[in-house]
Chain A
Amino acid sequence: MKWLCLITVFVSGLMTQAAGAPPSAWVQPAASLAEQIAGILGPGQANLTIRNLSTIPNDEIPSIRSLLEQDLKVRGVLVSEGENANTIHVTLSENVQERLWVAEVGEGNETRVAMVHVEPGIFQRTQPVGGLTLRKQTVLTSREPVLAVLETADGLIAVEPEEIVIYRHAADGWQEQKRVGIGQKSPLARDPRGVIFLSPSGDGFEIFVAGMSCAGSDQPAKPAQELTVRCRESDDPWVLVQPPVTPAGSTTQGATAQMDISVTPFKAFYNAARNYFTGVVNFSPGVDLPPFFSAAQLVRSASDAPLLIEGIDGKVQILDNIALKPVSGTRDWGSDFADLQSGCGGGTQIVASGSGEAISDSLRAYEMPAQEAIPASAPLAMDGTVTALWTAPDGKSLFAVVRSAADQYEVDRVSASCN
């Protein structure tokens, strides 16, 4: 019997945890509301009714009632069932930001109101699973638009439309250390874009935004305030694909370097007044490339690494043997994709954003053995629109910038695990 009771208590505890906030979350608001009620009624007896207009699960109402009764009793108000001149109608309500508990306290013909607000609950979300599983980890959140970020040995450099922001590790995550103005003279584009890459030596970085380029150095262990960034007006082509570079001070090597694969540096001219690349690139592709939004190099083997582009007409094509060939299976793709050296399946996948609109974008990995994109993972739900996606310097993970419906920006690191 004792064991049965213990198991019952344990199971009911688990159910409560799963259903909503832990019972301890109600202790403080119950006490606060009881204090206000007792202040109105004074010592005596009262009828208590509770109705729930909130998202609190109904099976938690008895425990809330019990807390209220105890707190009222401590303050001299006894809850009774019989005829009573005093009434307490408690409504568990909420608005979009918080929960609100309201007590309508009746003494004869007079009704007075007491209120307490309660912190909102925390809701868990689950990740979908698939053959190859994509996972995300939030690296940074910001109210300002983030165009690109770069993780260095001991810091993080974020590119915003008008500023470069330097972060350093702190106990509670990234801490902003310094902001450097980019100094654009012309108005920004409405869909601003930017890229940041490690310099080939690994101890500096290069940034491209519309009409400007910046270069900086970021020595490990050097205070952020001593970090230098120089920006200038520039219509130089942007770096879009770069051989793997190991950040100074880091001991890990890039995935493609480990695979002994040669990645061709690839640069493209950007239309600073719009949001796409003109199609003019730093090598001779053998054909005229159309204006495009995105490009990635699909590393299939040491000798086979064609370029994948998505034109501004939404068509995804592959540049293979000096010919542009259409890729099928990309109807669900958005405008952003990047290559991922996951080591799963064919070794390299293309991860593309989804074709949905603002509130429910997703990322999905695709194998591309030929001219067809074959889904290799379940879609990974993102909490908004993916506005930028690029491969991390090590090639083994990606970074995605997501704009939420509330115009908050989140930078997520996306990695894959083989099933």
Chain B
Amino acid sequence: MRWIVFRQVAISCLLVVLALPAAARTRPRYGGTLRVEVEGDPWTRSGVQPGSLARRLVFDSLTRMDADGAPEPALAVRWASENNDHRWQFWLRPGVHFQDGSALISAAVEASLTGSCGANCPWTAVHVVGSTVVFTGDAPMPNLPELLASDDFSITLAGQANSSATMAMGPLIGPFIGTGAFQVEGFTNGVLTLTANETSWEGRPFLDKIEIAGHKSIRDQWLDQSVGRADLVEVPAEQLRQAHEQRLTVIASPPVDLLALAVADGGVLSNPNIRAAIALAVDRIAISNVIFQKQGEITASLLPASVTGYSFLFPADRDLNKARELRGGLTPPPITLSTDGGAAMMLAAQRIALNLREAGFNVQVASAGAPQHADIVLLRLTLASNQPQAGLELLLRRVGVAVPVRENSPAGLFREERDFLGTHTLIPLLYLPRAYAVGGRVRDLRLSRDGEPLLGGVSIQSSQ
């Protein structure tokens, strides 16, 4: 584990060092347009992923995660809990305005949070008390400041950031108006254009504009960067080695994306032994080595080793004989496996199906985008905090387990993780880093705790 952890740290450091420009550095300059290309949609969220790059630039939340994964003030300047974390009060930052000029008031925050919080809402009620917002819960909410940093609870003018509103409806309607450093200017020919918010409470960003071109293949992204048409493009974990061979300047996060199998606990898979057999049948090493080119950190725990130090207690080795034994003599009915990710995720799903067939399961992989119910889904979850207690709750909520994590000691967290993983409804496989290739004129690019580019502080490099 030590070697894995420190190899990842070393790789991350190396990648950051590789990102350093050779030219002289000045203070950040104002002006210019940053051109970004992404494989997915520049605005619409997909699957269980928390958000998109653009949403983070347009919207803010009451809190946000600092570099250590701890909550820090954003639209709220302070907060306090009472009654054993059943009641939380958040004081709003004064003088903040939405991008249409209207003031950020507590009623707007209440409306936004009420509109965005769905069935798994962490609180029971939210209401306004003067210039503060108060959350109350039937159950304690020990990690509420961390949860509110999530993109799920970003504050919009109409309280519908997570609605199905699309860009075709126009950029200046409520769901697209926030308090962030950039505002939506328009969406033309697949390119989302954001412009600097001159009155941003964090200060006007250095860039004048950001253009995000969506639905671009990785190959096209790299090609565009090589000819100077893109400043920031994606580097999937499985292509990190290739990116270095092509001498791209890469910035990578620590492993933050958890690949995991969500296993239904009903129907065919209602028998816990069958689910346990699936967990034992998966060959994580092969998936890591073959599909993700050894860029992942193999895991059978929800939280990575670097966060807890105890992940080795969850064995990640494949045990085909035990899997067959647990499955029993009968051949179970067909199982469907799907994924909501891209090409590498589909390859991983096919590899997992092969593993399961070797254990005697009859598995069919649903074609990408097929709108059908699957018994097993290969997910990519993001670790939003490296504070173990909050990180675990955020992960669990992402897969629909709305139970507050109250333990904060290593032994207590281990017990919570062990008890949940013992149900085999979620089978962790790999932790992967997020990476981007950065053009030579981009400076001061940093990644957030969960691997998203922080573009508010980015500027365009001048040449000396």
Nearest-neighbor residue (CB-CB) of B29 within chain A: A312
A113 contact set on B, CB distance < 8 A: 313, 411, 414
Do A274 and B309 form a contact, CB below 8 Å, given A190-B457, A333-B24?
no
> What DSSP secondary structure best describes chain B's contact surface?
loop
Asked if B411 contacts A52 (CB within 8 A), the reply is no
Contact A190 B203 (CB under 8 A): yes
Query: Could you say which residues of chain A place their CB within 8 Å of the CB of B443?
Result: 357
A360 / chain B contacts, CB cutoff of 8 Å? 17
User: Per-residue CB proximity of B433-464 to A under 8 Å, as 1/0?
Assistant: 00000000001101000000000110000111
Whether a CB of chain A sits under 8 angstroms from the CB of B123 is no
Cβ-based interface call for A330 (8 A): yes
Whether B201 is near chain A, meaning CB under 8 Å from some CB there, is yes
Q: Which of B6, B21, B67, B456 contacts A190 (CB 8 A)?
A: B456
**Complex: how many Å from CA A93 to CA B23?**
41
User: In the complex, which of the residues B26, B66, B206, B409 contacts A406, with contact meaning CB atoms closer than 8 Å?
Assistant: B66
Within 8 A of B (CB), among A177-205: 187-192
Judge whether B28 and A275 touch: CB under 8 Å.
yes
**C-alpha spacing A37/B409, complex, angstroms:** 17
Q: For A160, what are the chain B residues with a Cβ–Cβ distance below 8 Å?
A: none
Q: A93-B309, A190-B457, A315-B464 are in contact. Are A357 and B26 (CB under 8 A)?
A: no
Residue of A nearest to B387 (CB): A97
**CB within 8 Å for A102 and B310 given contacts A115-B411, A187-B203, A190-B206:** yes
B309/A95 in contact, CB under 8 A: yes
- The reply on A94 being an interface residue by CB < 8 A is yes
Check: B307 CB closer than 8 A to any chain A CB.
Answer: yes
In the complex, the chain A residue whose C-beta lies closest to that of B6 is A55
Q: Which residues of A contact B23 (CB under 8 A)?
A: 331, 355
Contact of A335 with B26 at beta-carbon distance under 8 Å, contacts A95-B309, A313-B462 already known: yes
B67, chain A: closest CB distance, angstroms = 4
Contact of A335 among B13, B27, B200, B312 (CB under 8 A): B27
Contacting pair A310 B68 (CB below 8 A): no
Tell me whether A221 is interfacial, beta carbon within 8 Å.
no
Note all chain B residues with C-beta closer than 8 A to A5: none
Q: Given the complex, which residues of B lie within 8 Å of A310, measured CB to CB? A: 26
B-facing residues in A298-329 (Cβ within 8 Å): 310, 312-315
Is A260 interfacial (CB-CB < 8 Å)?
Answer: no
Chain B residues positioned under 8 Å from A312 (CB to CB) = 26-27, 29, 462
Q: Does B464 contact A314, Cβ atoms closer than 8 Å?
A: yes
Measured between beta carbons, the chain B residues less than 8 angstroms from A390 are none
Measured CA separation A313–B27 after assembly (Å): 10
Name the interface residues of A325-343: CB closer than 8 Å to any CB of B.
330-335
A273 touches B204 (CB 8 A): yes
Whose C-beta in chain A lies nearest to the C-beta of B203? A190
Measured CA separation A102–B26 after assembly (Å)? 48
Give the residue of B27, B30, B203 whose beta carbon is less than 8 angstroms from that of A188.
B203
The answer on a CB contact under 8 Å between B306 and A332 is no
Say yes or no: B446 contacts A358, CB within 8 Å: yes
CB neighbours of B48 from chain A (8 A): none
The answer on a CB contact under 8 Å between A115 and B410 is yes
Q: How many residues belonging to A are interface residues under a CB distance threshold of 8 Å?
A: 50
A357 in complex: contacting residue of B203, B307, B386, B444, CB < 8 Å: B444
- Tell me if B199 is interfacial: C-beta within 8 Å of chain A: yes
Question: Does B2 interact with chain A (Cβ within 8 Å)?
Answer: yes
Residues of chain A contacted by B335 (CB below 8 angstroms): none
Q: Which residues of B contact A355 (CB under 8 A)?
A: 23-25
Given contacts A100-B308, A359-B16, contact A293 B313 (CB under 8 A): no
Interfacial chain B residues near A293, Cβ < 8 Å: 26-27
Residues of B within 8 A of A73 (CB): none
Q: A355-B23, A407-B66 are known contacts. Are A114 and B411 too (CB-CB below 8 A)?
A: yes
Question: Which one, B29, B68, B305, B414, contacts A95 given CB within 8 A?
Answer: B305
The distance in angstroms between the C-alpha atoms of A52 and B462, with both chains bound, is: 48
Q: Is A49 positioned at the interface, with any CB of B under 8 Å from its CB?
A: no
B358 to chain A: which residues have CB within 8 Å?
A: none
Chain A residues with CB below 8 A from B5, complex form: 94
Is B19 in contact with chain A by the CB < 8 A criterion?
Answer: yes
Within 8 Å by CB of A115, from B1, B13, B29, B310, lies B310
User: Which residue from chain A places its CB closest to the CB of B197 in the assembled complex?
Assistant: A187
A6 close to B (CB within 8 Å): no
Considering the chains assembled together, what is the distance between the CA atoms of A333 and B24 in angstroms? Answer: 6
Q: Which of A256-280 contact B (CB under 8 A)?
A: 273-276
Q: Does A7 contact B (CB under 8 A)?
A: no
What chain B residues lie within 8 Å of A217 (beta carbons)?
none
Distance in Å from the Cβ of A312 to the closest Cβ of chain B?
A: 6
Contact partner of B309 among A100, A191, A331, CB < 8 A?
A100
List, in ascending order, chain A residues with CB within 8 A of B6's CB. 55
Neighbouring B residues of A95 by C-beta, 8 Å: 305-309, 388
Shortest beta-carbon distance from A331 to chain B in Å: 5
Sample of 19 further A-B pairs with CB below 8 A, known A93-B310, A357-B443: A53-B312, A55-B2, A93-B1, A94-B5, A95-B388, A102-B309, A117-B410, A187-B199, A187-B202, A190-B205, A274-B30, A310-B26, A312-B26, A313-B462, A314-B25, A355-B23, A356-B20, A359-B13, A360-B17
Minimum-distance CB pairs A-B, first 5:
A190-B203, A100-B309, A314-B464, A95-B309, A355-B25
Interface residues of B (CB under 8 A from A): 1-2, 5-6, 13, 16-17, 19-21, 23-30, 66-68, 95, 199-206, 305-310, 312-313, 386, 388, 409-411, 414, 443-444, 446, 456-457, 462-464
Q: List 11 A-B contacts (CB under 8 A).
A: A94-B5, A100-B410, A115-B411, A115-B414, A190-B456, A312-B462, A313-B26, A314-B463, A355-B23, A357-B25, A407-B67
Residues of A near any B CB (own CB < 8 A): 52-55, 91, 93-96, 98-100, 102, 104, 113-115, 117, 187-192, 273-276, 293, 310, 312-315, 330-335, 354-360, 405-407
